[in-house]
Structure 1
Amino acid sequence: MTEVLVVGAGPAGLAAALAARARGAAVTLLDAADELGGQYWRHLPPQRPAARERALHHGWARFERMRRELEADPGCEVLTSAQVWAIEPADDDGRVGADGRLIDGGDRAVAGAAARAALVVHVLVGPVDGADRVARSIRPDALVLATGAHDRTLPFPGWDLPGVFTAGAAQALAKGERVAVGERVVVAGAGPFLLPVAASLAATGARVVGVHEANRPGRLAAGWLPRPWALIGAVGKAGELAGYAWNHVRHRIPYRTGSAVVAAHGTDRVEAVTIASLDRDWRPIAGTERRVEADAVCVSHGFTPRLELPIAAGCAITSDRFVVVDAGQGTSVAGVYAAGEITGIGGVDAALAEGAVAGHVAAGGSPTDAEISREMRARRTTTDFAGRIEASHGIRSGWTAWLDDDTLVCRCEEVPYGRLRATGDATCSTGLRSLKLTTRAGLGICQGRICGRTVEHLLGGDGGFADGVSTDRRPIAAPVRLAELAGASAPNRPEGHLRKETP
């Protein structure tokens, strides 16, 4: 029986697990969170249920159906609070290359699998802050990576003040804790994600005083209006858009294009923000600045895919930093598949379609099989949708004009823009590794997850670095205690058939 490991239990991962089970594969589904659903279906824990939880979620009934089916299936082992901290090649005989521990004999034939993944996935199961996490090393026949993405937020003066949130964090607090981040909230940045964030904030009782999209109407039209027939398959999005529009009308939320929060002000927390009109390249237009009172600001300038694990697995990455996949969601590495936001930012429908295709093919199927013809059609439609999002809402280069020398770029290491630029100029280095060491940017506790892309842009522009290094390359993908690493020398328990158990 083919054994498929799915990393990530958001929409793409759930769809992949279900599709692989439909093909008869044994599945292990794991996620670092303590509940299934990922960032999209983030919800209250069972200990604190809500009477109308579906009110803050699109497709909630579908999620509940998927979750019930997987949790009740004896052929699917579901592991939550399970953190993948490393992926490494396995020797030909199935042993882990780093320490020689036997994972699998490596000589069994796998019916229907085109090529077995020659990788070992190292997992720690248990609370992140716990001292007794259970170590597991899994060598699956096929690996599906559905690790998703997180907000990308461009720095601006005052963005380090308490009360400045990423839009994703604000929505997570609204959905998962029913907490409003403030009483008067400004939402700003770029992309369709600003609309559901404003809706979630309004549902928790916050007053959203404005939503500010950085791109101007001309660029939005140029991205969304060409070839309207290509959007027929995404007709459901029109209903969502109408719902968000009604939310703006009902709560009297202004929606402004061609504008951005270019500074936040306050002593101990945000008290006001400066909003300015932008030109087509996102440069602030002099004389348009206005100050707006607010006690919170939620900012998102798109998303950054979580590429640590695909890079560790050896997957090829595109020039715009997404995982390269073929028609069956296969990566450049045999037996490894990718789905969801790590292949392109296309939204939940794209993630569901790609996940279903990836799981089906990982379990020995083909993208031409009739069972997934609907998902293949949806995949083509949503790929076009993702391209439109980038064309309409992608970041423009002029945003650096709203920085001043004192603006922190790396908040962990407290590296301001002026020092970052001066150090980069003084060293004349063309390698990112040396620039990180000399500037300290990206070396803090988040390991560049928040500032990494920004640091790369400010130091190297769009030309990349001579050493080929990127801030997405993290051989240790998550924090690990030295005691946990020391315990890795203990004999590993046999994996055998994928089982359901509570570590």
Structure 2
Amino acid sequence: MPASASDPYDLAVIGAGSAGLAGAVTAAELGLSVALLDSSPQTGGQFYRHPAQAIGAVRPEALHHDWPAFAELRRRLERSEVRHLSGHHVWAVTKENGDGKGNGERKGDGERKERGDVWAVHAVTGADGAEGQPVRVRARAVLLATGAYERQLPFPGWTLPGVVGAGGAQAMLKSGLVLPGKRIVVAGSGPLLLAVASSLAAAGAQVPAVIEASGYLGYARHPRALAANPQKLVEAAVHGAALLRHRVRLRTRSAVTEVHGTDRVEAVTVTRLDRDWRPVRGTGRRIACDALAVGHGLAPQIELATALGCATRPTADGTTALALGGLQETSVPGVWAAGETGGIGGAQLARAEGELAGTAVAAGLYGRPYREGRIRALQRRRDRMRGFAEAMAARHAPAAGWTDWLTDATDVCRCEEVTAGRIREAVTDLGASDAHTVKLLTRAGMGWCQGRMCGTAAVCLAAGEGQLRRAVEPPAERRPFAVPVPLSALASLDEPTGTRPDTAPGTDH
């Protein structure tokens, strides 16, 4: 805790998943005062979603991989003095001038350096931010551990009830113990599909097939990454055995190119793809089902960082991640990042990066090297797992020809009901040559999701038909708001101090 209610925290951690938890508890154990903010009512992030106690789940750990690691982080959090602010939707991080005292350096207390500039983390409270209670938490350093969101590629019928994200289906099962249907096809690209399919099958769903647009033989091109991460092969073997046990068929180099049904999903058409992900004519086959769980990987959630001007980098699968230094620092002094913000890599990598960032922040605030041996060990672990993550991203990157399965009537932007035909018209008839111009002409990306669902498709269609185009996310935009914010929250910015850290609502710890 800060020395007084008006003092800033040493560190504000945004996100209570694997990276955020590891960073928060590490920093607290090294003597820092830490505030941990997260939009969810409980810790764990997307990976360790689990039922609320009121549901009465007997063994929630049965639906998770590596649950003991999360349980240990949770125990460390409970023993620490970290202030956990649940139900806090962070919409911006801004820099404030000096807090009126402590400028320069103060000796004693480990020779901690007191800095004149502090960060203000702005949030609104409530299950979805609807309560609109503004909160401002001030800190000397910020750790961004905001995770990722699912990347979707549209196709005819994808707006029918019963079509859910692959990660969304897993979240429904983990947090609510419910299934999106009884007979569920799992489709898209990426290793998440295997985990989702095995979880759904174990929970009692019938999974007739897993449809993977890429393949797995390409991993053989990365022998060093595989050799350095043998646990990944073990995980793949576990999921593969589960699929065999439940008689789930795996179809590679294929995609769901159409969903059929009136009021909800009744069947899907699965089509073979060529190496450029273009549908092969005459290969379509129907599979009866009442739900489809589909996803084409994850995209780092970096809106807070790009609003601060943090540098980014393109990833092997076409998304945009933060460019980070050897100690998880961003290009903006005083701001660190860990986990999926630096590229998709899984919970184990996120924990290592979170601990590394927490240790680095402590060293930075105290102005001297700290636990150098541990830092080097964490860096080696991070680099090893990051190497595998990059190989994985390259193997499952969407190829150029996937837009060929879009008909002109296919909705691309669901929020604004913009079809592929309208976007193609903006390109061919109105001269749009980039996603921003498409957005201005068609409103694609202007809806509630702010382009998270349609951004990839808009970029690819804007590249023009018949050209060599790659499925990439839109360039990282600097937006002032990371989540929807009521006007009352903006009005509170005129208050001299905002809500004090010790009086912020929704504190669990």
Q: Do the two structures share a fold, i.e. TM-score over 0.5? A: yes
**CA–CA distance in structure 2, aligned partners of residues 141 and 259 of structure 1:** 50
- Measured after TM superposition, the shift of residue 297 of structure 1 is 0.6
1:21 paired with 2:24, answer: no
Aligned match of 1:169: 168
Counterpart for residue 294 of structure 2: 299
Which residue is 1:99 aligned to? none
Compute the RMSD of aligned alpha carbons: 2.6
- Amino acid in structure 1 at the alignment position of 2:388: F
Query: Match of 1:489?
Result: 494
Deviation (angstroms), 1:242: 2.0
Please, which runs of 5 or more residues in structure 2 have no aligned partner? 3-8
For 2:105, give the aligned amino acid.
A
Which 10-residue stretch deviates more, 201-210 or 228-237? Answer: 228-237
Q: Which of residues 379, 384, 388 is equivalent to 1:376? A: 379
Secondary structure of 2:209 counterpart:
strand
Q: When the two structures are superposed, what TM-score results if normalisation uses the length of structure 1?
A: 0.90
* Residue matched to 2:124: 124
Cα deviation 1:387-436 (Å, max 9, x = unaligned): 11112111111101111100110011110101111023333245644431
Deviation at 1:367, TM superposition (A): 8.7
Q: Which amino acid aligns with 2:353?
A: E
Work out the CA distance in 1 between the residues paired with 2:159 and 2:399. Answer: 22
Kept after mapping to 2: 8 A contact 1:115/1:334: no
Partner of 1:228: 223
Q: Which amino acid letter does the alignment assign opposite residue 148 of structure 2? A: A
Deviations 1:313-358 (A, max 9, x none): 2100113411000110111000111111111111112111111111
Q: Is the 8 A contact 2:89 2:129 kept in 1?
A: no
**How far apart are the structure 1 equivalents of 2:285 and 2:333?**
55
Task: In structure 1, give the amino acid aligned to 2:233.
Answer: A
Change (3 A) 1:167 1:87: same
- Give, in whole Å, the separation in 2 of the partners of 1:498 and 1:482: 22
CA distance in 2, matches of 1:116, 1:385: 41
Opposite residue 507 of structure 2, the aligned amino acid is: T
- Name the SS of the counterpart of 1:128 in structure 2: coil
Offset from partner CA, 1:54-75 (integer Å, 9 cap, x none)? 110112122122112213312x
1:308–1:472 Cα contact (<8 Å) kept:
yes
Question: Does 2:68 align with 1:61?
Answer: yes
In the alignment, does 2:103 pair up with 1:107? yes
Name the count of aligned residue pairs.
484
Q: Which residue of 2 aligns with 1:82?
A: 88
Q: Which is further off, 134-143 or 392-401? A: 134-143
Aligned counterpart, 2:244: 249
- Find out whether 1:337 has 2:340 as its counterpart: no
- Taking the TM superposition and a 5 Å limit, the aligned residue runs for 1:67-466 are 67-74=74-81, 76-90=82-96, 93-94=97-98, 105=101, 107=103, 109=105, 111=111, 119-128=119-128, 130-131=130-131, 133-216=132-215, 220-222=216-218, 224-320=219-315, 321-364=320-363, 369-430=372-433, 432-460=435-463
**Partner AA of 1:126 in structure 2:** G
Q: Aligned partners of 2:503, 2:225: CA distance in 1, in Å? A: 41
Pair 253,64 (structure 1): closer, same or farther in 2 beyond 3 Å: same
Match of 2:485 in 1: 480
Identity %: 43
Q: Cα distance, 1:105 vs. partner?
A: 4.6
Letter in 1 for 2:168: A
Instruction: Give the superposition deviation at 1:119.
Output: 3.5
- Contact between 2:265 and 2:290, CA under 8 Å: does it hold in 1? yes
| In structure 2, distance between residues paired with 1:361 and 1:112 | 14
**Residue of structure 2 equivalent to 1:8:** 15
Q: Relative to 1, partners in 2 of residues 1:350 and 1:244: Cα closer, same or farther, differing over 3 Å? A: same
Alpha-carbon distance between aligned partners in 2 of 1:139 and 1:317, rounded to the nearest angstrom = 25
The 2-side partners of 1:117 and 1:370 are apart by 31
Kept in 1: contact 2:140–2:334 (CA 8 A): yes
How has the CA–CA distance of structure 1 residues 165 and 493 changed in structure 2, closer, same or farther, with 3 Å as cutoff? closer
- What does residue 37 of structure 1 align with? 44
Q: In the alignment, is residue 46 of structure 1 matched against residue 53 of structure 2? A: yes
**More divergent stretch after superposition (480-489 vs 330-339):** 480-489
